[in-house]
């Protein structure tokens, strides 16, 4: 049942990657518990604009939990206190009347702040470009569709491919590691016969690019798996390690 709550927002404001940021405090009254977190931020921005102030910059697109752009760190959790969802799917019923809510951008050397709550996530695109693809001559459509793949492998590959690259794993990791993301992208191809031809080059190239871009090392705390909105398993990290070691042995 809908009800109205009053909240206090502590929102991170930062004019650019080289600027010093700080929290701003705003009070919002009469927020519907049926509104989404992003709708609440829309209300905040409308209030700020009416007061002649600059609105808070935050990233969003689909608002359907598909694109992963709504990357906010809320009360110490990537995407907020609810489980298995992105920020755009978080609703204000998860918060109490009178609660103070702290909103921050992702914190990682690999994701510099562009402005306020928006970060630059091009690092993930660069990792994909380094090796997250296949070159294969499949012939016609029937030939490509005739490659036998077991259901277990197909299901695992699809589970890995469900990663939306939002960066919650990096934000959750005390080291700012991108291992869960990279391992998911390696796994979705390593599990399939089409991805085996370039497997060695892919594992080395993507890990090297990840290290180059400033992401930290994995220390297996499992925080990434706990906060992932798509339930990507850390078993993928074990597979990435195996793929990487096999590639090094081939060298």
- Domain of residue 99, CATH code: 3.10.20.30
Residue where a domain terminates, one of 94, 114, 134: 114
3-state secondary structure of 234: coil
Q: Which residues contact 164 (CB under 8 A, 6 or more apart)?
A: 66, 67, 68, 86, 229, 230
Tally of CB atoms within 10 A around 219? 12
Give the pLDDT confidence of 218-232 residue by residue, as tens digits.
999 999 999 999 999
Domain boundary among 89, 114, 139: 114
Burial class, 214, CB count within 10 angstroms (exposed 0-12 / middle 13-18 / buried 19+): middle
Same domain (yes/no): 132, 231: yes
Tokens of 192: 């399939």
Q: For position 132, what pLDDT does the model report?
A: 84
> Residue 125 corresponds to which tokens in the numbers above?
């695109």
pLDDT tens per residue across span 127-172: 999 998 888 776 666 665 677 888 999 999 999 999 999 999 999 9
pLDDT of residue 3: 93
What is the domain count for the chain? 2
| CA–CA distance, 231 with 18 (Å, rounded to integer) | 34
Q: What mean pLDDT comes out for the span 202-220?
A: 95
Q: Is the pLDDT of residue 61 over 80?
A: yes
Note down the domain range covering 91: 4-114
Q: Residue 223: which CATH number? A: 1.10.1060.10
Q: What is the pLDDT of residue 138?
A: 65
Query: Whole-number mean pLDDT of the chain?
Result: 94
Q: What is the DSSP letter of 54?
A: P
pLDDT in tens, 70-122: 999 999 999 999 999 999 999 999 999 999 999 999 999 999 999 999 999 99
Residue count of the chain, please give it: 251
Give pLDDT, residue 228.
97
Per-residue pLDDT at 135 = 80
Do residue 41 and residue 145 come from a single domain?
Answer: no
């Amino acid at each position: 049942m809908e009800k109205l709550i009053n909240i206090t927002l502590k929102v991170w404001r930062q004019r650019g990657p080289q600027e010093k940021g700080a929290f701003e405090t705003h009070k919002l009254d009469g927020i519907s518990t049926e509104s989404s977190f992003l709708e609440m931020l829309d209300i905040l921005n409308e209030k700020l604009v009416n007061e002649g102030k600059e609105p808070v910059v935050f990233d969003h697109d689909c608002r359907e939990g598909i694109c992963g752009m709504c990357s906010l760190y809320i009360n110490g959790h990537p995407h907020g206190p609810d489980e298995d969802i992105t920020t755009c799917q978080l609703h204000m019923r998860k918060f109490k009347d009178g609660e103070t809510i702290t909103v921050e951008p992702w914190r990682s050397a690999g994701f510099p702040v562009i402005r306020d709550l928006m970060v630059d996530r091009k690092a993930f695109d660069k990792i994909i470009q380094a090796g997250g693809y296949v070159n294969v001559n499949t012939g016609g459509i029937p030939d490509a569709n005739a490659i036998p793949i077991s259901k277990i492998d197909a299901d695992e590959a699809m589970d890995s491919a469900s990663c939306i690259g939002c960066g919650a794993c990096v934000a959750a990791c005390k080291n700012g590691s991108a291992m869960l993301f990279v391992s998911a992208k390696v796994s979705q191809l390593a599990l399939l016969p089409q991805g085996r031809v370039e497997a060695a080059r892919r594992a080395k190239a993507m890990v090297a690019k990840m290290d180059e871009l400033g992401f930290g090392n994995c220390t297996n705390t499992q925080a990434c798996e706990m906060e992932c909105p798509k339930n990507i398993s850390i078993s993928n990290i074990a597979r990435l390690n195996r793929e990487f070691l096999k590639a090094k042995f081939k060298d």
